[in-house]
Amino acid sequence: MAAKPTKSSGQKDNFTRNLVIGMVALVVGVGVIFSVTGNQTKVSSKIPTIASEAEGYGLVFNPSAMPVIDIWEDFQCPVCRSFESVVGSYLSQLVKENKAKVIYHPLSFIGPESVRAANAAACAAEESKFDEFHTLLYKTQSTTENSGLWSNDNLVGLGATVGLTSDSFKKCVNDGGFLGWVNNIAADGAKKNVNSTPTVFVNGKEIDRNTQYMDLNGFTAALVAAGLK
């Protein structure tokens, strides 16, 4: 589900369509893999090592750094792919240089393949390969939602291309090792009224969709204003 950072009527129509489709997918499509529990998180669910319940179960990089960047995304969201193409490399560099605390919240609005991809991304994070796998997911995103591209077998194959060849990664993907965590991310997003992707907060405040999402200079300006050095 994608909300584009412009105000044209066509884009608003697309947002409305994607919002409706996404919410249906959340209730119906995700149920193919596991039972959605509404807005209820399950504290007993296994979570990735770098995930933090205090941070909405997000995957946290550089926990003591500032500013704090929260990214809510769905790996099947085409606008998320566009956002990744604009700021992905820059965010990766900020993480590597410990210049910002970056928290990823993989949502699953669009359906079963979003769930599988989010689970696989968590499996990759367990082996310190989240960034590489995250980038690859967007590079291989299908133009058709829930097309069958991201089966567990194919996700395992994608992982192998970035060095994720361990039996533990394969088992994590095939067994849905973090499906409960994926549900917790969705539940937390619902509680926070995050209803479109991508949604980005810097120090707890959403950045401007019209000027700071799809423009690297605008995005950087938002971070500098929030204390990026």
Q: Looking at the chain, which runs of residues are DSSP E strands?
A: 51-52, 58-61, 68-73, 101-106, 199-202, 205-206
The confidence score (pLDDT) of residue 42 equals 74
Residue 87 CB coordination number (10 Å):
24
Q: Where are the beta strands (DSSP E) in 46-198?
A: 51-52, 58-61, 68-73, 101-106
Count of CB atoms within 10 A of residue 42's CB? 12
Residue in the block written with tokens 């969705």 = 186
Instruction: Report d(CA 36, CA 55) in Å as an integer.
Output: 21
- Locate the domains of the chain by residue range: 9-220
CA distance 217 to 214: 9
Architecture of domain 9-220: 3-Layer(aba) Sandwich (3.40)
Residue with tokens 């060849």: 165
* pLDDT value for 132: 98
Report the alpha-carbon distance of residue 107 to residue 105 in Å, rounded. 6
Predicted local distance difference test score (pLDDT) of residue 92: 98
**Which CA distances in Å does 88 have to 66, 84, 181?**
18, 4, 23
The span from the CA of 167 to the CA of 119, in Å, is 16
> What is the amino acid identity at position 228?
L
Closest CA relative to residue 50, chosen from 124, 160, 155, 134: 124
**Tokens matching residue 129:** 């390969």
Residues of the chain falling short of pLDDT 70 = 1-40
* CA 107 – CA 164 distance, rounded (Å): 22
186: nearest Cα among 92, 115, 120, 122? 115
pTM value?
A: 0.83
Q: Which helix (H) or strand (E) holds 200?
A: strand 199-202
Count CB atoms within 10 A of the CB of residue 91. Answer: 23
